Amino acid sequence: MSLYRNFAWFVKGLSEFTKNPFLAASKRFVEKDLEVSVAGRVFMITGANSGIGRATATAIAKRGGTVHMVCRNKDKAEEARADIVKETGNKEVFVHVLDLSETKRVWEFAESFKRKNKTLNVLINNAGVIMSQRETTSEGLERSFSTNVLGVYILTKSLIPLIEKSPDPRVIVVTSGAMLVQKLRIGNLQSDRGRYDGPMVYAQHKRQQVVLTEQWAKAHPTVHFSVMHPGWVDTPTVATAMPDFHRSMKSSLRSPEQGADTVLWLAVSEAAAKNPSGRFYQDRVMVPAHLPLAWTRSSTLEEHKLVALLDDMAKTFQPH
Protein backbone atom coordinates (compact mmCIF):
# COMPACT_ATOMS: atom_id res chain seq x y z
CA MET A 1 0.00 0.00 0.00
CA SER A 2 2.84 2.41 0.72
CA LEU A 3 4.15 1.85 -2.82
CA TYR A 4 0.70 2.68 -4.18
CA ARG A 5 0.46 5.78 -1.98
CA ASN A 6 3.89 7.02 -3.04
CA PHE A 7 3.17 6.40 -6.73
CA ALA A 8 -0.27 8.01 -6.58
CA TRP A 9 1.16 10.96 -4.66
CA PHE A 10 3.98 11.57 -7.14
CA VAL A 11 1.65 11.41 -10.12
CA LYS A 12 -0.72 13.80 -8.36
CA GLY A 13 2.21 16.05 -7.51
CA LEU A 14 3.40 16.32 -11.10
CA SER A 15 -0.11 17.15 -12.29
CA GLU A 16 -1.20 19.46 -9.44
CA PHE A 17 1.65 20.65 -7.20
CA THR A 18 4.14 22.20 -9.65
CA LYS A 19 4.30 25.67 -11.23
CA ASN A 20 2.21 25.06 -14.37
CA PRO A 21 -0.82 23.63 -12.49
CA PHE A 22 -0.75 26.76 -10.31
CA LEU A 23 -0.73 29.00 -13.39
CA ALA A 24 -3.65 27.02 -14.80
CA ALA A 25 -5.57 27.23 -11.50
CA SER A 26 -4.89 30.97 -11.19
CA LYS A 27 -7.00 31.62 -14.31
CA ARG A 28 -10.12 30.94 -12.24
CA PHE A 29 -8.99 33.02 -9.23
CA VAL A 30 -11.22 36.00 -8.39
CA GLU A 31 -8.88 39.00 -8.36
CA LYS A 32 -11.04 41.11 -6.08
CA ASP A 33 -10.72 38.47 -3.34
CA LEU A 34 -7.25 39.85 -2.58
CA GLU A 35 -7.98 43.50 -3.44
CA VAL A 36 -8.62 44.31 0.20
CA SER A 37 -7.20 46.53 2.90
CA VAL A 38 -6.46 44.84 6.20
CA ALA A 39 -5.40 48.01 8.01
CA GLY A 40 -6.11 47.63 11.72
CA ARG A 41 -6.02 43.84 11.54
CA VAL A 42 -3.24 41.93 13.32
CA PHE A 43 -1.49 38.87 11.89
CA MET A 44 1.10 36.52 13.41
CA ILE A 45 3.21 34.42 11.04
CA THR A 46 5.72 31.80 12.17
CA GLY A 47 8.78 31.19 10.01
CA ALA A 48 8.26 34.59 8.42
CA ASN A 49 11.84 35.47 7.44
CA SER A 50 12.06 33.29 4.29
CA GLY A 51 10.08 31.30 1.74
CA ILE A 52 6.30 31.13 2.02
CA GLY A 53 6.23 32.89 5.40
CA ARG A 54 8.13 35.90 4.13
CA ALA A 55 6.04 36.12 0.96
CA THR A 56 2.88 36.04 3.11
CA ALA A 57 4.21 38.67 5.50
CA THR A 58 5.10 40.97 2.61
CA ALA A 59 1.69 40.58 0.96
CA ILE A 60 -0.15 41.32 4.22
CA ALA A 61 2.07 44.33 4.98
CA LYS A 62 1.32 45.68 1.48
CA ARG A 63 -2.37 45.57 2.38
CA GLY A 64 -1.82 47.56 5.57
CA GLY A 65 -1.94 44.78 8.14
CA THR A 66 0.08 44.69 11.35
CA VAL A 67 2.49 41.76 11.06
CA HIS A 68 4.17 39.88 13.90
CA MET A 69 7.02 37.79 12.50
CA VAL A 70 7.88 34.84 14.75
CA CYS A 71 11.31 33.57 13.72
CA ARG A 72 14.12 31.42 15.07
CA ASN A 73 17.06 33.45 13.75
CA LYS A 74 17.17 37.07 14.96
CA ASP A 75 19.58 38.39 12.32
CA LYS A 76 17.72 36.85 9.39
CA ALA A 77 14.40 38.03 10.82
CA GLU A 78 15.59 41.63 11.29
CA GLU A 79 17.01 41.66 7.77
CA ALA A 80 13.74 40.33 6.35
CA ARG A 81 11.76 42.87 8.37
CA ALA A 82 13.85 45.74 7.02
CA ASP A 83 13.27 44.53 3.47
CA ILE A 84 9.52 44.15 4.02
CA VAL A 85 9.21 47.64 5.53
CA LYS A 86 11.24 49.13 2.66
CA GLU A 87 9.18 47.33 0.01
CA THR A 88 5.75 48.00 1.50
CA GLY A 89 6.19 51.27 3.38
CA ASN A 90 4.43 49.63 6.33
CA LYS A 91 6.34 50.03 9.59
CA GLU A 92 3.84 47.96 11.59
CA VAL A 93 6.03 44.88 11.22
CA PHE A 94 7.50 43.37 14.38
CA VAL A 95 10.03 40.63 15.05
CA HIS A 96 9.76 38.03 17.83
CA VAL A 97 12.59 35.54 18.27
CA LEU A 98 11.32 32.07 19.14
CA ASP A 99 12.40 28.51 18.42
CA LEU A 100 9.18 26.46 18.25
CA SER A 101 11.06 23.34 19.33
CA GLU A 102 11.57 24.88 22.80
CA THR A 103 8.12 24.13 24.16
CA LYS A 104 8.44 25.95 27.49
CA ARG A 105 9.56 29.06 25.61
CA VAL A 106 6.56 28.75 23.28
CA TRP A 107 4.25 28.86 26.30
CA GLU A 108 6.11 31.85 27.74
CA PHE A 109 6.06 33.73 24.44
CA ALA A 110 2.34 33.16 23.85
CA GLU A 111 1.36 34.18 27.39
CA SER A 112 3.56 37.29 27.15
CA PHE A 113 2.05 38.20 23.79
CA LYS A 114 -1.46 38.00 25.25
CA ARG A 115 -0.50 40.33 28.08
CA LYS A 116 1.03 42.92 25.75
CA ASN A 117 -1.44 42.81 22.86
CA LYS A 118 -5.18 43.34 22.84
CA THR A 119 -5.83 41.91 19.39
CA LEU A 120 -4.77 39.00 17.18
CA ASN A 121 -7.05 38.45 14.22
CA VAL A 122 -5.11 35.79 12.33
CA LEU A 123 -2.50 33.20 13.32
CA ILE A 124 -0.57 31.58 10.46
CA ASN A 125 1.33 28.46 11.55
CA ASN A 126 3.89 28.28 8.75
CA ALA A 127 7.23 27.32 10.34
CA GLY A 128 8.36 23.73 9.90
CA VAL A 129 11.48 21.63 9.84
CA ILE A 130 12.65 18.45 8.10
CA MET A 131 15.49 16.73 9.95
CA SER A 132 18.08 14.57 8.19
CA GLN A 133 18.62 12.58 11.39
CA ARG A 134 16.95 12.28 14.76
CA GLU A 135 17.85 15.07 17.17
CA THR A 136 16.69 15.60 20.72
CA THR A 137 16.03 19.02 22.25
CA SER A 138 17.24 20.08 25.70
CA GLU A 139 13.73 19.15 26.92
CA GLY A 140 14.17 15.57 25.69
CA LEU A 141 11.83 15.86 22.69
CA GLU A 142 12.47 14.83 19.10
CA ARG A 143 13.17 18.17 17.41
CA SER A 144 10.95 17.94 14.34
CA PHE A 145 7.99 16.73 16.44
CA SER A 146 8.41 19.54 18.95
CA THR A 147 8.65 22.10 16.11
CA ASN A 148 6.02 20.82 13.70
CA VAL A 149 3.41 19.48 16.11
CA LEU A 150 3.80 20.21 19.82
CA GLY A 151 5.07 23.77 19.33
CA VAL A 152 2.23 24.49 16.89
CA TYR A 153 -0.26 22.93 19.31
CA ILE A 154 0.95 25.01 22.28
CA LEU A 155 1.14 28.28 20.35
CA THR A 156 -2.36 27.84 18.93
CA LYS A 157 -3.90 26.58 22.17
CA SER A 158 -2.48 29.48 24.16
CA LEU A 159 -3.44 32.17 21.63
CA ILE A 160 -6.98 30.97 20.85
CA PRO A 161 -8.56 32.95 23.74
CA LEU A 162 -7.06 36.16 22.31
CA ILE A 163 -7.98 35.24 18.73
CA GLU A 164 -11.57 34.45 19.78
CA LYS A 165 -12.00 38.02 21.05
CA SER A 166 -11.06 39.51 17.68
CA PRO A 167 -13.31 40.37 14.73
CA ASP A 168 -13.16 37.77 11.92
CA PRO A 169 -10.76 35.43 13.75
CA ARG A 170 -8.81 32.89 11.69
CA VAL A 171 -6.11 30.25 12.17
CA ILE A 172 -4.27 28.86 9.14
CA VAL A 173 -1.86 25.92 9.14
CA VAL A 174 0.59 25.48 6.27
CA THR A 175 0.94 21.74 5.77
CA SER A 176 2.41 19.63 2.97
CA GLY A 177 1.03 17.34 0.30
CA ALA A 178 3.43 14.75 1.69
CA MET A 179 0.85 14.10 4.40
CA LEU A 180 -1.30 12.38 1.76
CA VAL A 181 0.95 9.30 1.96
CA GLN A 182 0.57 9.04 5.74
CA LYS A 183 -2.11 7.59 7.99
CA LEU A 184 -2.27 9.11 11.46
CA ARG A 185 0.05 7.26 13.86
CA ILE A 186 0.00 8.04 17.54
CA GLY A 187 2.09 5.15 18.87
CA ASN A 188 5.48 6.61 17.99
CA LEU A 189 5.13 10.39 18.29
CA GLN A 190 8.80 10.83 19.17
CA SER A 191 10.01 8.72 16.21
CA ASP A 192 12.32 6.80 18.56
CA ARG A 193 11.62 3.32 17.17
CA GLY A 194 12.88 1.94 13.89
CA ARG A 195 14.89 3.73 11.21
CA TYR A 196 14.59 7.52 11.21
CA ASP A 197 13.39 8.79 7.81
CA GLY A 198 13.27 12.58 8.06
CA PRO A 199 10.92 13.33 5.14
CA MET A 200 8.48 10.59 6.21
CA VAL A 201 8.56 11.79 9.83
CA TYR A 202 7.79 15.27 8.48
CA ALA A 203 4.93 13.88 6.39
CA GLN A 204 3.45 12.22 9.48
CA HIS A 205 3.66 15.50 11.37
CA LYS A 206 1.82 17.21 8.53
CA ARG A 207 -0.94 14.58 8.73
CA GLN A 208 -1.17 15.34 12.46
CA GLN A 209 -1.55 19.04 11.64
CA VAL A 210 -4.51 18.27 9.37
CA VAL A 211 -6.18 16.26 12.14
CA LEU A 212 -5.51 19.01 14.69
CA THR A 213 -7.07 21.62 12.42
CA GLU A 214 -10.22 19.52 12.08
CA GLN A 215 -10.39 19.03 15.86
CA TRP A 216 -9.80 22.72 16.64
CA ALA A 217 -12.58 23.70 14.25
CA LYS A 218 -15.02 21.51 16.19
CA ALA A 219 -13.86 22.78 19.57
CA HIS A 220 -13.82 26.51 18.69
CA PRO A 221 -16.75 27.27 16.36
CA THR A 222 -16.30 31.07 16.48
CA VAL A 223 -12.83 30.85 14.85
CA HIS A 224 -12.34 29.93 11.18
CA PHE A 225 -9.66 27.23 10.93
CA SER A 226 -8.09 26.03 7.70
CA VAL A 227 -5.11 23.96 6.60
CA MET A 228 -3.50 24.27 3.19
CA HIS A 229 -0.97 22.69 0.88
CA PRO A 230 1.17 25.27 -0.98
CA GLY A 231 2.31 22.87 -3.70
CA TRP A 232 5.95 22.06 -4.40
CA VAL A 233 7.71 25.33 -3.66
CA ASP A 234 11.31 26.48 -4.13
CA THR A 235 12.16 27.30 -0.50
CA PRO A 236 15.36 27.09 1.57
CA THR A 237 13.84 24.23 3.60
CA VAL A 238 13.25 22.09 0.50
CA ALA A 239 16.67 22.91 -0.94
CA THR A 240 18.42 21.95 2.30
CA ALA A 241 16.39 18.92 3.38
CA MET A 242 15.68 17.39 -0.04
CA PRO A 243 18.60 18.43 -2.28
CA ASP A 244 18.09 15.70 -4.91
CA PHE A 245 14.39 16.48 -5.28
CA HIS A 246 15.13 20.21 -5.37
CA ARG A 247 17.84 19.79 -8.01
CA SER A 248 15.76 17.59 -10.31
CA MET A 249 12.52 19.61 -9.95
CA LYS A 250 13.88 23.16 -9.59
CA SER A 251 12.61 24.45 -12.92
CA SER A 252 9.10 23.15 -12.13
CA LEU A 253 8.83 24.35 -8.53
CA ARG A 254 6.51 27.17 -7.56
CA SER A 255 7.88 30.51 -6.37
CA PRO A 256 7.36 31.40 -2.68
CA GLU A 257 4.75 33.95 -3.79
CA GLN A 258 2.82 31.27 -5.67
CA GLY A 259 3.09 28.96 -2.67
CA ALA A 260 1.83 31.74 -0.41
CA ASP A 261 -1.19 32.63 -2.57
CA THR A 262 -3.68 30.34 -0.82
CA VAL A 263 -2.30 31.28 2.61
CA LEU A 264 -2.97 34.93 1.81
CA TRP A 265 -6.39 34.14 0.38
CA LEU A 266 -7.34 32.20 3.52
CA ALA A 267 -6.02 34.99 5.73
CA VAL A 268 -7.64 38.06 4.16
CA SER A 269 -10.46 37.23 1.74
CA GLU A 270 -14.15 37.33 2.56
CA ALA A 271 -14.67 34.37 0.24
CA ALA A 272 -12.50 32.05 2.34
CA ALA A 273 -14.36 32.89 5.55
CA LYS A 274 -17.66 31.81 3.97
CA ASN A 275 -16.40 28.23 3.61
CA PRO A 276 -16.78 25.64 6.39
CA SER A 277 -14.12 25.66 9.11
CA GLY A 278 -11.53 22.90 9.45
CA ARG A 279 -11.10 22.10 5.75
CA PHE A 280 -8.04 21.34 3.61
CA TYR A 281 -7.19 23.67 0.71
CA GLN A 282 -5.09 23.71 -2.43
CA ASP A 283 -5.02 26.61 -4.90
CA ARG A 284 -7.95 28.39 -3.21
CA VAL A 285 -10.35 25.44 -3.27
CA MET A 286 -11.31 22.83 -0.71
CA VAL A 287 -9.87 19.44 -1.65
CA PRO A 288 -9.93 15.96 -0.04
CA ALA A 289 -7.36 15.33 2.70
CA HIS A 290 -6.91 11.71 1.56
CA LEU A 291 -5.87 10.00 -1.66
CA PRO A 292 -8.46 7.60 -3.16
CA LEU A 293 -8.00 3.98 -2.03
CA ALA A 294 -4.98 4.89 0.12
CA TRP A 295 -6.47 3.79 3.48
CA THR A 296 -5.17 6.84 5.33
CA ARG A 297 -8.33 7.73 7.24
CA SER A 298 -8.22 7.54 11.03
CA SER A 299 -10.96 6.89 13.55
CA THR A 300 -12.55 9.54 15.75
CA LEU A 301 -11.05 7.74 18.75
CA GLU A 302 -7.51 8.00 17.32
CA GLU A 303 -7.99 11.68 16.52
CA HIS A 304 -9.25 12.45 20.02
CA LYS A 305 -6.36 10.46 21.47
CA LEU A 306 -3.84 12.56 19.52
CA VAL A 307 -5.29 15.75 21.00
CA ALA A 308 -5.31 14.23 24.51
CA LEU A 309 -1.68 13.09 24.21
CA LEU A 310 -0.54 16.51 22.98
CA ASP A 311 -2.52 18.22 25.72
CA ASP A 312 -0.87 16.08 28.40
CA MET A 313 2.59 16.68 26.93
CA ALA A 314 1.98 20.42 26.61
CA LYS A 315 0.93 20.70 30.26
CA THR A 316 4.21 19.17 31.44
CA PHE A 317 6.06 22.14 29.93
CA GLN A 318 3.57 24.83 30.91
CA PRO A 319 5.11 27.37 33.29
CA HIS A 320 3.30 27.72 36.60
CB 93 within 8 A of CB 69: yes
Residues 6 or more apart whose Cβ sits within 8 Å of residue 153: 212, 310, 311, 314
List the one residue out of 15, 4, 1, 6 whose CA is nearest residue 197: 6
Catalytic position from the list 4, 153, 196, 202? 202
List the one residue out of 165, 280, 272, 174 whose CA is nearest residue 222: 165
283 backbone dihedrals φ, ψ, rounded to 5°: 50, 50
List the one residue out of 225, 245, 222 whose CA is nearest residue 233: 245
Instruction: Give the DSSP per-residue string, 55-103.
Output: HHHHHHHHTT-EEEEEES-HHHHHHHHHHHHHHH----EEEEE--TT-H
Going across the sheet that includes 170-174, the strands are 93-97, 66-71, 42-46, 122-125, 170-174, 224-228, 279-282, 285-286
- Is 4 among the catalytic positions? no
Mark out the alpha helices in the chain (DSSP H runs). 2-16, 19-26, 51-62, 74-88, 103-116, 143-145, 151-164, 198-219, 236-241, 243-249, 256-268, 270-273, 300-316
Q: What is the dihedral of CA 240, 244, 247, 249, to 10 degrees?
A: -110
Query: Which H or E run includes 279?
Result: strand 279-282
Residues marked as catalytic: 202
